[in-house]
Amino acid sequence: MKLITNRIRGTRDLLPEEYVKTQVIINTIKSEAELYGFNFIRTPVIEHTELFERSTGETSDIVTKEMYSFQDKSGRNISLRPEGTAGVLRAVLENGLHNNTMPLKLMYHSSCYRYEKPQSGRYREFFQFGLEIFGSDTPETETELILLSNSILSRLNLSNIILEINTIGCPECRKKYLEILKKYFEDKKHELCETCQERLEKNTLRILDCKNKSCKEICDNSPEIINYICEPCSEHFEKLKSYLNNLNINYNINSRIVRGLDYYSRTVFEFKIKSQDNNINNLVICGGGRYDKLSEIFGGPNLPALGLGIGLERLVLAMESQDILFPEVQTPEIFIICLDNNSRLLGFKLCDILRKSGIFCELDILNRNLKSQLKYADKIKSKYVIIIGEEELKTKKSKLKDMRNNNNINKEYEISIDPENFLEKFMSIYLSL
């Protein structure tokens, strides 16, 4: 079979078996975040391009190489969101949520789009769960978000997780460090990759985020920002460490973490998975940091903020690598087999009764014969079947057949199919099995 087109490179179809895995993760994050006071928000997938140019920086790789941008029919510059934070902050400011009682805790899960080389755990359309806290500039805020992240990963039964933290200082103390860092890299300019040579002139700090092997080796001996931060930033970082120590949350200080977006300041952090699998080892599955000045860049008031993003595809990959079991696609509790038109009329009615009571029920809609319907019920792994034909319509009774084949015996139970008392009779049998 030749289709007129295939899916776009870097995207994927999330089939039912895979979708179940994603939903398990989303539901786990949601239920845990609700214990911390987070509420859902949803923002549009398209925004004015300027929003991302302002937030991520006009010289960032996202803006210069990775954004899906276009002009709409009115000539406006529009982009698909490459990440979630900028849109959420825009929504907070535009809708006046910053005037609410603080702190404001918001969560979301959304699709994001970046034109980059597809690889294991990385797609051009990817899905992210985000958590943002607005209105607090204290290290207690970082503690709360890191503690929540740690709890989520624990509830998902992940092991070999590494937390790495760093501080990249505030805009003021970072100026001095950037001067020293730029001088260091200028002396090694010709050893840097072409992209990092451009970064040297436009955004030196981003060189530390380069994945090129030779650049990483040069970065290993570069000056560390933690030695140049101001006293308030240092106190902030020390207090965060004291909280993490008190909570017995293990962490490593990684002075090379700068995160990939320009809007971060002070604390940045990442949760990585440590594994023997080359596709998984040191895979970042959760990362974030503080972005206190972004509101003012957007034209809003001073609004300190902290956020993180959890990559859903990467999380699934990590869980699969550790053989963590996911639930299977849901199967019917009961399948109603109908042998003629009159039995189908009753079958629809009984299905409706069961579904309204929260019981997953199916019936044949292809007008198959008895043998084919039994085969189909077995194929979809229905736990029970009820057969309705001419005789069953007369007596208003049928058999509830157990399809689970326990001890190689398919047990049967007589049941009323009179709609008036069907549910009561069914439940009395069902709950006793």
Decide if pLDDT at 280 tops 80: no
Average confidence (pLDDT) over 240-268: 86
Which has the minimum average pLDDT: 35-49, 144-158, 178-192, 232-246? 178-192
Average confidence (pLDDT) over 388-402: 92
Confidence grade of residue 262 (pLDDT, cut at 50, 70, 90): low
Average confidence (pLDDT) over 376-388: 92
Instruction: Give the neighbor-by-neighbor strand order of the sheet with 265-273.
Output: 39-40, 104-113, 125-134, 305-311, 283-290, 265-273, 161-167, 252-253
Confidence grade of residue 300 (pLDDT, cut at 50, 70, 90): very high
Tokens of 372: 């084919």
Average confidence (pLDDT) over 320-342: 89
Residue 230: closest CA among 274, 170, 286, 273 = 170
* Residues with Cβ within 8 Å of residue 310, at least 6 apart in sequence: 29, 128, 129, 130, 131, 149, 152, 285, 286
C-alpha 56/C-alpha 75 separation (Å) is 23
CB distance 390 to 401 below 8 Å: no
| Helix residue spans in 326-380 (DSSP H) | 341-356, 370-379
pLDDT reported for residue 201 = 77
CB distance 335 to 351 below 8 Å: no
374-377 long-range contacts (CB < 8 A, ≥24 apart) are: 374/337, 376/335, 377/335, 377/337, 377/403
Written as one letter, the residue type at 336 is: I
C-alpha 79/C-alpha 88 separation (Å) is 15
Decide if pLDDT at 257 tops 90: no
Average confidence (pLDDT) over 275-294: 80
C-alpha 175/C-alpha 185 separation (Å) is 15
- How many beta carbons lie within 10 A of that of residue 57, not counting itself? 19
Query: Higher model confidence: residue 324 or residue 282?
Result: 324
* Residues with Cβ within 8 Å of residue 337, at least 6 apart in sequence: 347, 363, 364, 370, 373, 374, 377, 385, 386, 387, 388
Confidence grade of residue 171 (pLDDT, cut at 50, 70, 90): confident
pLDDT tens-digit map of 7-18: 888 888 889 888
Q: What is the CA radius of gyration of the chain?
A: 28
Q: Where are the chain's structural domains?
A: 16-170+229-321, 334-426
Residue 258 half-sphere exposure toward CB, CA atoms < 13 A? 23
Query: Higher model confidence: residue 353 or residue 200?
Result: 353
Tokens of 236: 């902030």
DSSP run (H or E) holding 167 = strand 161-167
Residue 168: closest CA among 303, 87, 288 = 288
Mean pLDDT across the chain:
88
CB distance 380 to 374 below 8 Å: no
Does the structural domain 334-426 have CATH classification 3.40.50.800? yes
pLDDT tens-digit map of 48-59: 999 988 877 655
Helix axes 16-34, 139-155, angle to 10 degrees: 140
Q: Which CATH superfamily is domain 16-170+229-321 in?
A: Bira Bifunctional Protein; Domain 2 (3.30.930.10)
pLDDT reported for residue 284 = 86
Which has the minimum average pLDDT: 28-37, 377-386, 409-418? 409-418
Decide if pLDDT at 26 tops 80: yes
Residue 351: closest CA among 372, 371, 343, 373 = 343
pLDDT reported for residue 10 = 87
pLDDT reported for residue 245 = 95
* Residues with Cβ within 8 Å of residue 45, at least 6 apart in sequence: 80, 81, 110, 111, 113
Written as one letter, the residue type at 124 is: R
C-alpha 334/C-alpha 427 separation (Å) is 12
Average confidence (pLDDT) over 17-23: 90
C-alpha 322/C-alpha 56 separation (Å) is 34
C-alpha 334/C-alpha 432 separation (Å) is 15
Strand-pairing partners, residue 423, are none
Residue 389: closest CA among 350, 351, 334, 338 = 338
pLDDT tens-digit map of 123-165: 899 999 999 999 999 999 999 999 999 999 999 999 889 999 9
